[in-house]
Structures are given as structure tokens and as C-alpha cells.
Structure 1
Amino acid sequence: MILSLHSSIEFPEIPSASGIEYHNGLFYIAGDDACCIYCLDDDFALVSVTPIPGPDQYRIPKKEKKDWESLAIVGTEGNKALLLLGSGSRSPQRDYAAIWDFGQESPLIEDLGPFYRQLRNEGLTELNIEAATAFGTGILLGNRGHKEHPYNTLIHSSVTDIWKSPASIHYSQLILPEETTGFTGISGLAWWPERDWLFFTASSEDTANVYDDGAIGESRVGLIRNASAALLKDMVWPDEWIPLESISPVFFKKKIESICLRETGNTPELILVADNDDGSSHLFRLLMKI
């Protein structure tokens, strides 16, 4: 796989982008402290802004925010919905999901407390859900570690409506190459079902817990082939591991937060979003040569 930068654009009017998904020709972006979902067309032009129930503030204070760190398109082929997940890094404030079936005026808020308690009781005491993607008939989540807890965990739930009941869950530790810049944590997931490829983003950040921000280091894109089989195991390694600064210097000190796939015939694209903790957002379009 060879990646090249097609374009990048900064969005001062979209705060703190932390999750991105693509569906029916539109990109959906959420920010960890944003009060709205931002919808863009294929050319990154802003189409609409949808409020999320809760505080009506452009940037919600850190102690109050739900911390929407990840997005996934879930549901059956004829009834898709956008799922936003709180990180669970501060309980109970961040133990929530928002589900939006696109036909509704605004998302519904669901309590993830029982599901997140299940994860904590099964060993994920340092909960920080930073990534999500639909995976088979269920959902795959990425739990990000930090310097004092240097573990990235992929969590496969058999169902997508994870707020309804205890779920059947499988855990795989994601083993990343050691970096000289310190611990590198998972930040985004995107599954390509036609090839069974799992893309993910990861970034280094100088922080020793799941709550505080730290100095930003480097970001990477990883790829796991034959993902359905790989994730049956207790440990999984990337088949490809690409430093984004090797693609373009524009990625220097960019904290990549999420990834999604846009299929375009012979040249599929990976779309990345960055949040550098200053309130603005940055989008990048990468062309993929297989």
C-alpha cells in the first residue's frame, strides 16, 4: 500500500475534531468538546450542523463534556445510523453514546454505564475509548493507553447497540512498534469489509493518564490484513506501519484523531482528521495505491 497526500484543509469553525465517518457521499465529524455534528460534502464544503442534546456551548468545558472521541456508521444496509461514543475516561460524565438515524432532528443520548462497567470489570480499568468502526455484524472499539499504562486494546462486541444488554466481547492487544518518542496510542479505526482490511491511526502524546492532554508527537497509519481472523487472537500486529511525516511534512506535530475510508473506484481514499488541542480542526485526504 502506497499513500500520497491529495489535499489538506484547516477548519477553524469545527472545534476539536476527534471522529469522522463517511456515508452516502457525506462526511460526518464530531469533536470531543463540540455540541454539534458537522456534515461536509465530498469537497469538504460544510453542508449542515446538527446539535447534540446537552449544553449549548461552542466548546463544552472539559469537566462537563461527554468526550465524543469516536464515530461509527452502524445498522442494517437499509437503516444506517451514526453512533457517537463517549470515551469513558471520566465516569459517569463520559459514559454515554449518541445515536442518530439521520431521519431524526437530533441524536438520542444513551447510557453506556452498564457496558463500560462490563469493560472495567473484565480488566480495562484504564478506560479511554478513542476509536470505533462497524465490524462484521458488531462493532470494534479501540482503547488507548498512555505512558503509565502502555497498552492499546481492540474490543470486538457482537452487537452495535451496546447500551441495551451485556455483550459478548473479545479483547485483542494491539502491539505497535516501539517508538523513540514515547508511547503511541490508537486514535481511529476504519474497516474495509470488501478486502477485510482494518486501517487505524495512532499518535504519540506525552501524558501519563487518560484525562490530561500532553505534548503532541508523531502520528501513524497502520493496516491489519485479514482482520476478521487476526482479531480472533489475543494479540495482533500491524502488517503495515506508515509514519505520516514520511508522506508529507504537513503532518509535523499534527495529532491525528480519526480515519475513514472513501471508496472511489481504482483510487480509494483515506480521510484523516486532526485536533491539536487549540480548538481548530484539520482534514487530510490521502490517495491509496494498492
Structure 2
Amino acid sequence: MKLLTGLISLAFSGLALAAGPSYQLQVHPPVLNTAIPSGSGMSPTFQQHYLVVGDDSPYLFEVDARFQVVKKTLIKDYPVNAQGRIDKKIKPDFEAMTPLVWNKQLWSMVIGSGSKPDLREYGYLLSYDGKQKIEFRLTNLYKQFFVAGGLTPTQTINIEGLTVDHQYMYFLNRGNSATNMIFRVRLSDMSDYLAGKVTQVAEVKKFDVKLPVIDKFEAGLSGADYWPEARALVYTASVEATGDAYGDGAILGSFVGVIPLHQLREGQTLDLSRSAMPVMVNGKPVLTKIESIAFQKADEHEVRGALISDNDQGASEFFGFRLRRKD
């Protein structure tokens, strides 16, 4: 039996209400890691390990199953302070990453958020064997996102989530300057862009989403991974009491949710406000900014892996999780 069974579609005021299977989220108590500043992106690797980036760190970290650092690789030589953090004025804002097969080789793709022109519009391909590193510019692609998203001159792109399926790459825009949006690009087009064969991708699809609201602040997309057995994106989001993509605010809560790919429809806003699951430990909301999600095990019934959060105090927290279908 397929994990995801259909969509009950209700249309009103341009909203499409998400419906279908329900899920149960179990989150383990956090593991604090002070060696990784401002954890923001994460993806799985071998032997139950994870690769991690921080938005103000120049390193790619590898952590083991207990979330302890076993290796770190310099992405780019930025100046850092005594705590190993890059000053906010010059940080590249590495907010998202995903494993990517490119040119028949496995890479980690790490990208800046785009929330400041030029400075935060760089990305890197880091080979899993640790021998190669490729820097690339995202300026033209982010300009395409800006146009596709209908942003105004006072708004900024803020890409905080990244994942791939067998055909597309998905970029999740956090809605704290503009709105929550998912941009979809064909992998073949992205491959040509990364290779420098084209300066723009042929097509960008944009999907609007609506997330839960706490104290008048809507949650913002922050991370994603792809669940192949379910043909769905599993996303993270958090509520931050700020109205722009630059300043930090109080964290009011975080969420995990599932988006079956067939629910992504242009011209409709996908309403996830009821299906998003609050991140809770021992019955209490986790008041930290969940930034990313990565799977280690997945089948058609459940996924297991880890969440990472940035506590805005120079450290990172990891949470093991289990997400399973209830019916």
C-alpha cells in the first residue's frame, strides 16, 4: 500500500488545504555541541554520520551518531573570532545543504541564503572523498527566484532549505522578508548552471505555502529532506519574532511537516498550518530554531534521523527523531 494516498482538495480564497495521511513525530532530548557554531544545514553520510554547516562558520563538520565532531574541512578561509565565528557583517550565511550526484560523483552542495547581495550568494560543491572543492555564484539564479517569487525592492530572498529528488532540486525560501515559497529547478538545468554552461536555468517553478502562526508571526521554512518511498518533502520550520531576513528574534516554536509532491501546484497556496507538527520533547515545545533535517533510515512507513538547531548563542543542538505514519 502506498504511504501517501491521494489528496482531498478544498479551494477557497486561493488556498489549497493539505489533507491525507496523518503522522506522529517523536523527538529525543537535545545533544548540545559547542564545537559547531550556529548549526544551519545538515545531510547524512556513511556509518550513521552527518555532515553539518553553520551559518557563521567557515567549516564543513562531520559528526558521528552521538553528534560529536570527528572531522572538519575548511570551505573557505574567512576570518573568525575567538569562538570560531565569522562576523555577521561578512558571513556567507551557509543555510542549506544537500547530497548531490553531479558528474557521476557524490558531492555535498552548500549554499548561502542570498539574503545580502553578493556576500551571501555563493555556493560550494565539496566532494565526499574530501579531494575536491568547487566555488560557484548563485547571483543569477537568485535573481530568477526574485522574479518568480514576485518580490518587491524592499524584500530579499532567504533560502534556508535545499533538497533533491530524482528529477528536481528544491530551494525553500524562509518567509521572514518575503513569503514562504518553494522554488523547483530541474536537476539537468542545475547541472548545466553549476558547470558554467548556462548563466540562467531554463525554468523556475514557484509554490507558495502557508505555515502555522504564533503570536502573529508565521513560521518560516528552514530545512528539508526528500522521502523517496513516500515521494514527499519533509520540512522544518520555526517561528522567529522578527520581520526581516537579517535580524534575529525570539524563537517561539518549531515544526516538522510532510509535503507530498503531488500537492505542489502553481497558482495555489498550500495550507500547511494544520498539518505541521510542533517539535516537542517530553511534552514541552522546543523553543529553539530548528534549522534542518536529515534522514538515516527510511521506508514507506517511517523515517528516522536528526534535526539540528541554532540557539543564536554560538552553539548547536541535535535532536534524534522518528516520524511515522499513523494510519
TM-score normalised to the size of structure 2? 0.80
Residue 36 of structure 2 corresponds to residue 2 of structure 1: no
2:34 to 8, 12, 28: 12
Matching residue of 1:129: 159
AA in 1 matched with 2:210: I
What's the C-alpha RMSD, in Å, of the aligned pairs?
A: 2.2
Q: Is the 8 A contact 1:224 1:237 kept in 2?
A: no
Q: CA deviation at 1:76?
A: 5.5
Task: Say if 1:10 and 1:282, in contact at 8 Å, map to a contact too.
Answer: yes
Q: Secondary structure at the match of 2:235?
A: strand
Map of 1:286 onto structure 2:
321
Question: 2:290 maps to what in 1?
Answer: 256
Structure 2 equivalent of residue 38 of structure 1: 61
SS class of match (2:114): coil
Contact 2:27–2:279 (Cα < 8 Å) also in 1: no
Equivalents in 2 of 1:135, 1:126: separation in Å? Answer: 26
SS at match of 1:263: strand
State the Cα distance separating 1:145 from its structure 2 match: 1.4
1:48 aligns with 2:88: no
Asked if 1:268 corresponds to 2:294, the answer is no
Letter of the 2:173 counterpart: N
Q: Residue 236 of structure 1 aligns to which amino acid in structure 2?
A: L
- Pairing partner for 1:213 from 241, 244, 248: 248
Q: Where do residues 46-195 of structure 1 align in structure 2 (5 Å cutoff)?
A: 46-57=69-80, 58-75=84-101, 79-105=105-131, 107-122=133-148, 123-124=150-151, 125-146=155-176, 149=178, 151-159=179-187, 160-161=190-191, 162-163=193-194, 164=196, 165=198, 166-167=200-201, 168-195=203-230
**Would the aligned equivalents of 1:269 and 1:288 in 2 still touch at CA under 8 Å?**
yes
Counterpart of 1:136 in structure 2: which amino acid?
Answer: H
Larger CA deviation: 183-192 vs 77-86: 77-86
* Secondary structure in structure 2 of the residue aligned to 1:240: coil
Q: Secondary structure at the match of 1:120?
A: helix
Write the distance in 2 (CA, Å) between the matches of 1:6 and 1:183.
25
Deviation track 1:165-187 (CA, whole Å, cap 9, x = no partner) reads: 31111000012234335221111
Separation in structure 2 between the aligned mates of residue 64 and residue 95 of structure 1, nearest angstrom: 12
State whether residues 53 and 108 of structure 1, in contact with CA within 8 Å, keep that contact through their aligned partners in structure 2.
no
Structure 2: how far apart are the matches of 1:282 and 1:181? 26
- Cα distance in 2, alignment partners of residues 106 and 136 from structure 1: 24
Determine helix, strand or coil for the equivalent of 1:268: strand
**Partner SS, residue 116 of structure 1:** helix
Instruction: Please tell me whether the aligned partners of residues 51 and 61 of structure 2 are also in contact (alpha carbons under 8 angstroms).
Output: yes
Structure 2 SS opposite 1:270: strand
**Alignment match, 1:21:** 43
> Which amino acid letter does the alignment assign opposite residue 9 of structure 1?
V
CA drift at 1:105: 3.6
Structure 1 contact 53–109 (Cα < 8 Å) conserved: no
The aligned length equals 285
Residue 277 of structure 2 corresponds to which residue in structure 1? 242
- 1:7–1:286 contact (8 Å) kept in structure 2: no
Letter in structure 2 aligned against 1:262: Q
Task: Specify the code of the residue in structure 1 equivalent to 2:90.
Answer: E
Which stretches in structure 1 are left out of the alignment for 5+ residues?
A: none
Please give the alpha-carbon distance, in whole angstroms, between the structure 2 residues aligned to 1:11 and 1:104: 23
The one-letter code of the counterpart of 2:44 is Y
SS at match of 2:214: coil
TM-score normalised by L of structure 1: 0.90
Structure 1 residues 54, 253: CA separation in 2 closer, same or farther (over 3 Å shift)? Answer: same
